[in-house]
Chain A
Amino acid sequence: MTHEFELPDVGEGVAEGEIVNWLVETGDPVEEDQPVVEVETDKAVVEVPSPVDGTVAERRAKAGEIVPVGDVIIVFDTDGDGKATETETETEAESEAEAEPASTTDVEAEATDRVFAAPSARRLARERGVDISAVEGSDPSGRITAEDVRAHAEETRAEASDGVESAVQPADESEGDTFTPASEGADRDRTLAVPATRKLADEEGVDIDAVPTDSEHDGEPFVTAEQIEAYTERQQAAQAADTRALQTGEREERVPYKGIRRTIGQQMERSKFTAPHVTHHDEVDVTELVETRDDLKQVAKERGVSLTYMPFVMKAVVAALKDHPYLNASLDESTEEIVLKNYYNVGIAVATDAGLMVPVIDDVNRKGLLQLSSEMNELVTKAREREIAREEMQGGTFTITNFGAVGGEYATPIINHPESAILGLGEIKEKPRVIDGEIVPRKVMTLSLSIDHRIIDGAVAGSFTNTVKQYLNNPALLLL
């Protein structure tokens, strides 16, 4: 018996996932719950476990392929004889009945490259530089509408990439192959030719059976000296093209703009082009904070928590947000209302190998420094290891980004849309400061606050920053 396993909904509302890496080969035995494939959604990479014991009969998707949720990605043989006598289909989303049989899209994908779309949609795709075969059809039958093409173009803003990609490919294929008459080689068993022609073929190093010909003598294929020459020329041209392609490959590389990178890009673009950004810069003397943190670090360590500056900043920010509610708000464009939030969920921007992720720590106002530290550390680790769930990155009301972690004083953070503000932290550096007429070394941190100028004015931004500074300058205030 075989068991068809559909790509499950690996996260909240995920419609599709990219097959990143197969963990099993066809013929491999698998046990229930054994991870079989890594799937990347728009936020995270998830290992998908096998639902059954059995062997892998067929993998239906290739690494790199984007697969809609509900498509069969792998077929298991559950009784080991390899014969498909019966088929059962696994549907992870049990309560949601699939309106469309999964086989519909499968067959298309396997059957042919044909894309079902009206000529107007095709033209639109060309105009927008969209590869129409990458567009998901919204029509119940899978047909691609002009609207689908527009939506896809908005998502990707992909540039048409004629030429370079295809030029690189033959270079890869030609590796290790010195001379392959791949596309036009005739590959016959027997070829007639006059002796002089055979001699020419030998001189040119050409396999006479590979030279294309339409001519026949006595029903057998017949090759002339001219055909040998033409063939040799074509081969040389092809080799020259390969060499060129190789050179191109060294000078440039094309990386698909997709997955997490694309999601980040879209989010940034939407934010930047929706909210007019203004960035307010300032600096704060955090000498006392550094001392306080040093004192508490040891206590925290004894309780198994690594205490960083971030929980202090979070507390300072939340305290400032309470005084300046418009920075803990979002603009609902559809209803033209400013939504002021009486809860404080702070997102922490984390640089990971895959790109920027923003885990969110809920209800910061209700948690102590240690709890914030441990929650944050856990989420940051999950994000770095790409094990974070989508819901752990949702629902934020304000975001802090610590660009100082990689060095640097000031930056222009982009607001995590639809929030209304984001605070960037620079590196804490020892700098000369004048205190009571004397130059003394102090610990100084820089702050860059970007605000949505539609709902927050510069004065409010400055006032908010002053409040944050006040708390960071004198961390004892956080105890009040």
Chain B
Amino acid sequence: MVVGDIATGTDVVVIGGGPAGYTAAIRAAQFDLDVTLAETNALGGTCLNHGCIPSKALVTGANTAHEAATAEELGIHADPSVDLGEMVAWKDDVVDQLTGGVEKLCKANGVNLLEGRAEFADENTVRVIHDGEGQGSESVEFQDAIIATGSRPIEIPGFAFDGDRILSSRHALALESIPESLLVVGAGYIGMELSTVFAKLGTDVTVVEMLDDVLPTYESDVSSVVKERAQQLGIDFQFGESAQDWEEMDGGITVHTETEEGEIDEYGAEKVLVAVGRTPITDTLNLDAIDLDTDDRGFIPTDDRTRTTLDHVYAVGDVAGDPMLAHKGMKEGEVAAEVIAGEPAALDYQAIPAAVFTDPEIGTVGLTETEAKEEGFEPVVGQMPMRASGRALTLEETDGFVRVVADEPSGFLLGAQVVAPEASELIGELGLAIEMGATLEDVGATIHTHPTLSEAVMEAAENATGKAIHTLNR
């Protein structure tokens, strides 16, 4: 505490106003707790400002442009011209609407909002340091603290983000004009989503990936659908190479890469997007002041009630560990608030769904067949190819499949992998099925609307039990 600084008191201080943090703050306030939320930048965090929402806005824009340009078969002849600046301005409107909404909700629920970077001063005090020269700081005494500081993109050596030539995902989502060529380092989900966006907007995209495939966390038959479509869009993949350094050359830049065998290659591009992952933000918190350790990957270890090793300090969202997904963070935020309020809350979900907004989309939830085996189940799978879906044909999007994984003796759904148009939506039903303890029979016997993509879920479940009508049974 600074001399003369009178601390304000609060029941709960929430550090970070992203999805995990604002959810925690609002829920805690709903329990009549006095809540103070400190956010350094903008409410909504990475998700609303620099991640999920802006990227999905641009995915929509790019898809619209691409579909219009490639609809000759449908008798539509168009040659769309894209103004990225306008698209980004529209995207900013969407973001503003959402962040404004979060602010209104916080205020309506009585959450005290503080702008500034919060760091721990001692076990029951944080200092909130306001941005800007002479803006000062203030102390907040709390009973419980919820850390929700999120994550930031990882930089790789030699490629410091400058927002001009070397872009993070955040920079890429704020470009004013479409780059002619883009070199993307990393073929994980962020790299693949943005590669697809820019390829559809007409950018010449090259992806350099150290491993030998795209989307390494997904099964190969899932990722291969996405890779093949990306290649059809003209994306060039260079696997087994890591980016080493870059230099300015002829109005653009040249990036040098190296294979494991030491072979050097070089690629010219207007800009480089580095998308090799994200790392939790804990270095701004002064965790030493409360004697809280992070693990070797920088995450703050928590239990199933989101409690850290300190009884009154909680961690939620990206900073609390993988998977770094907004929806996981929101659930953790709710649980943290409820636990503080004395409710019997805990993280006891069976599965966290995940979506990748590539073309086609990927939606997954729960266990793969291999994982189910490893957990001791006797898995059975059922699959429905999208080419057998009437709705997929009418969308001209027949790549991919819906696959369900279940425990054969009991029929309980354990997981699903969907690579299909609207997979991000389709996966919701399967997540519900898993949480509800639904069986293949339950899903198969549920009437699904025709003609929709969701019929494929029903068909996959029927396929697993040898009762499919529209596919050959296994």
By a beta-carbon cutoff of 8 Å, the part of chain A in contact with chain B is 101, 103-104, 107-108, 110-112, 114, 116-119, 122-123, 126-127, 129, 139, 141-144, 212, 214
Contact = CB atoms under 8 A, between A and B. Distances in A.
A143 B433 CA distance: 12
B198 interface: no
B346 interface: yes
Contact of A127 (B344, B435, B439): B344
Given A112-B377, A114-B350, A123-B344, A107 B435 contact: no
Contacts of B105: none
B349 A119 contact: yes
Contact of A118 (B344, B346, B412, B435): B435
B410 interface: yes
B410 A122 contact: no
B410 A118 contact: no
B349 A142 contact: no
A299 to B, nearest CB: 65
Contacts of A142: 410
A104 B350 contact: no
B296 A108 contact: no
A141 B376 contact: no
A111 B437 contact: no
Nearest to B441: A141
A119 B410 contact: no
Contacts of B348: 119, 122, 126
Given A126-B345, A142-B410, A112 B437 contact: no
Nearest to A118: B436
Interface residues of B, number: 20
A104 B437 contact: no
A120 to B, nearest CB: 9
A104 B377 contact: no
Contacts of B344: 123, 126-127, 129
Interface of B: 296, 344-346, 348-350, 375-378, 407, 409-412, 435-437, 439
A139 to B, nearest CB: 8
Contacts of A139: 437
14 contacts: A107-B377, A107-B378, A110-B376, A111-B375, A111-B378, A112-B377, A114-B375, A118-B435, A118-B436, A119-B349, A119-B435, A123-B345, A141-B437, A143-B412
Please provide the 6 A-B residue pairs with the shortest distance between their CB atoms, ordered closest to farther. A116-B437, A111-B376, A126-B344, A143-B437, A107-B409, A118-B436
A141 B435 contact: no
A141 B296 contact: no
Given A112-B377, A127-B344, A141-B412, A107 B407 contact: yes
A144 B350 CA distance: 14
A1 to B, nearest CB: 23
Contacts of A127: 344
Given A111-B377, A123-B344, A118 B437 contact: yes
Nearest to A144: B437
A143 B410 CA distance: 10
Contacts of B377: 107, 111-112
Nearest to B439: A141
Nearest to B434: A116
B339 to A, nearest CB: 11
B349 A214 contact: no
Contacts of B378: 107, 111
Contacts of B346: 126
A107 B348 CA distance: 22
Given A107-B407, A126-B346, A141-B412, 12 more contacts: A104-B409, A107-B378, A107-B410, A111-B407, A112-B375, A112-B376, A114-B350, A118-B437, A119-B435, A119-B436, A126-B345, A143-B412
Nearest to A121: B437
B409 to A, nearest CB: 5
A126 B346 CA distance: 8
B334 to A, nearest CB: 12
A452 to B, nearest CB: 36
A101 B411 CA distance: 13
Contacts of B436: 118-119
A273 B375 CA distance: 45
A116 B442 CA distance: 14
B409 A103 contact: yes
A212 B296 contact: yes
A214 B375 contact: no
A224 to B, nearest CB: 12
A342 B346 CA distance: 56
Contact of A141 (B345, B349, B375, B411): B411
B157 to A, nearest CB: 16
B308 to A, nearest CB: 15
A126 to B, nearest CB: 4
A142 B410 CA distance: 8
A104 B435 contact: no
B114 to A, nearest CB: 32
Contacts of A122: 348
A234 B412 CA distance: 40
A400 B437 CA distance: 49
Q: By CB atoms of chain B within 10 A, which of A101, A118, A139, A144 has the most?
A: A118
Nearest to A106: B409
Contacts of B412: 116, 141, 143
A106 to B, nearest CB: 8
Contacts of B435: 118-119
Contacts of A129: 344
A212 B340 CA distance: 34
A119 B347 CA distance: 10
Contacts of A123: 344-345
A141 to B, nearest CB: 5
A143 B411 CA distance: 11
Nearest to A114: B350
Contacts of B350: 114
Nearest to B296: A214
Contacts of A101: 409
Contacts of B410: 104, 107-108, 116, 141-142
A127 to B, nearest CB: 5
Contacts of B407: 107-108, 111
Contacts of B437: 116-118, 139, 141, 143-144
A212 B435 CA distance: 35
A397 B346 CA distance: 48
Contacts of A126: 344-346, 348
Nearest to A116: B437
Q: By CB atoms of chain A within 10 A, which of B377, B409, B410, B437 has the most?
A: B437
Nearest to A110: B376
B437 to A, nearest CB: 3
A103 B407 CA distance: 12
Contacts of B345: 123, 126
Contacts of A103: 409
A107 B376 CA distance: 8
B388 to A, nearest CB: 28
B122 to A, nearest CB: 21
Contacts of B296: 212, 214
B306 to A, nearest CB: 14
Contacts of A104: 409-410
A119 B346 CA distance: 11
A123 B349 CA distance: 11
A118 B413 CA distance: 13
Contacts of A212: 296
Nearest to A128: B344
B36 to A, nearest CB: 28
A323 to B, nearest CB: 54
A122 B349 CA distance: 9
Nearest to B411: A141
Contacts of A141: 410-412, 437, 439
A126 B348 CA distance: 10
A123 B343 CA distance: 10
A328 B117 CA distance: 77
A101 B407 CA distance: 15
A374 B253 CA distance: 104
A139 B439 CA distance: 11
